[in-house]
Amino acid sequence: MKIFPAIDIKNKKCVRLVRGDFENKTEYEMSPVEQAGRYKDYGFKNLHIVDLDGALTGETVNLNIIRDIVDKFDFKIEIGGGIRNFESIKKYFDAGVEKVILGSAAIKDKNFLKEACDKFPNKIALGLDAKEGYLSISGWKENSNQLTINYLKEVNNYGVSRLIFTDINRDGMKQSPNFEETLKIADISNCPVIISGGVSSLEDIRKAKSLKNIEGIIVGKALYDGDIKLEDLVKEDA
């Protein structure tokens, strides 16, 4: 199973939000590039990056930081945050990321998701961020009024290469992921699923490994806060 250490970027800094709340954030001293270097030093192969500025503006605000990380380190990177048009997708692929995560734009416009999957085969990931069963959009500020399961059934044959499922109520809380809901998603999904939100311990990682159709897991706040040590986590990375 793949381990994805997380880097969330806001105002050129590494930050962690609690339940996606921009008013409830922690800033960290290391720059995103330094943090990526730290992950590389420990031997991680994959990286999950979110451009929080992009999530709010719909622009590729931190593209230069992404380029810098790609140029300096050999990672397979998935990037999300406000990616709402083909121009932005192409910029990230030109910069050298492996997969682009579509969220709000794909939920608002299923045709955009389908076209993106057709234009960039095996390169598009779908981010499903849910609160109490419903998908949230626009930096988690709005309820889309679409049930996660129903939406997934509608787009399941579009050719998405990876699905990232986040339970917003667990995100940044370090109370373990919502395995129950994640399993419902994984059972339906035609593509492998990445677990996101709430990882608190190595036990969470090991539990995820035992589940079907789970490709990997994203670890953020528990790493930054020292609850999980990088040297222990990398041993779980396959």
Percent of the chain predicted with pLDDT > 70: 99
Determine the structural domain holding residue 119 and report its residue range.
Answer: 2-236
Largest CA distance in the chain: 43
70 pLDDT above the threshold of 70: yes
What total number of domains does the chain contain?
1
Instruction: Please state which of the ranges 23-37, 82-96, 135-149, 163-177 shows the lowest mean pLDDT.
Output: 135-149
Rounded mean pLDDT of 77-102?
A: 97
- Structure-derived torsion over alpha carbons of residues 21, 26, 31, 35, reported in degrees to the nearest 10: -90
Backbone angles phi, psi at 190, to 5 degrees: -80, -10
- DSSP states of 203-226 as a string? HHHHHHHTSTTEEEEEE-HHHHTT
CA distances from residue 52 to 11, 21, 55, 160, 179 in whole angstroms, order as listed? 9, 11, 5, 23, 25
d(CA 26, CA 197): 16
Task: Phi first, then psi: give them for residue 174, nearest 5 degrees.
Answer: 55, 45
Q: Is beta strand 134-137 parallel, antiparallel or unpaired with respect to 142-147? A: antiparallel
Band (16; pLDDT cuts 50, 70, 90)? confident
Q: Residue 140 has what pLDDT?
A: 63
Q: For residue 115, is pLDDT > 80?
A: yes
The CATH number linked to 165 is 3.20.20.70
Cα first-last separation, the chain: 5
Do residues 132 and 167 make contact, with C-beta atoms less than 8 angstroms apart?
A: no
Q: Phi then psi for 230, rounded to 5 degrees?
A: -60, -40
Hey, what are 18's tokens? 């609690």
pLDDT above 70: residue 199: yes
Which amino acid, one-letter code, is at 64? N
With cut-offs at 50, 70 and 90, classify the pLDDT of residue 48.
very high
Handedness of CA 1, 223, 172, 51 (dihedral sign): negative
Q: CA angle, 195 as apex, 219 and 139 as ends, to 5°?
A: 80
The pLDDT of residue 195 is above 80: yes
The two tokens of residue 235 are 């041993």
CA 154 – CA 156 distance, rounded (Å): 6
The pLDDT confidence band at residue 93, using thresholds 50, 70 and 90, is: very high
Which H or E run contains 232? helix 230-233
Q: pLDDT, tens digit, for every residue of 130-164?
A: 998 999 887 667 777 899 999 999 999 999 999 99
Whole-number average pLDDT of the chain: 94
Catalytic residues: 8, 129
pLDDT in the model for residue 139: 63
Residue 98 has pLDDT above 90, yes or no: yes
Q: How confident is the model at residue 65 (pLDDT cuts 50, 70, 90)?
A: very high
Q: CA 19, CA 82: separation in Å to the nearest integer?
A: 17
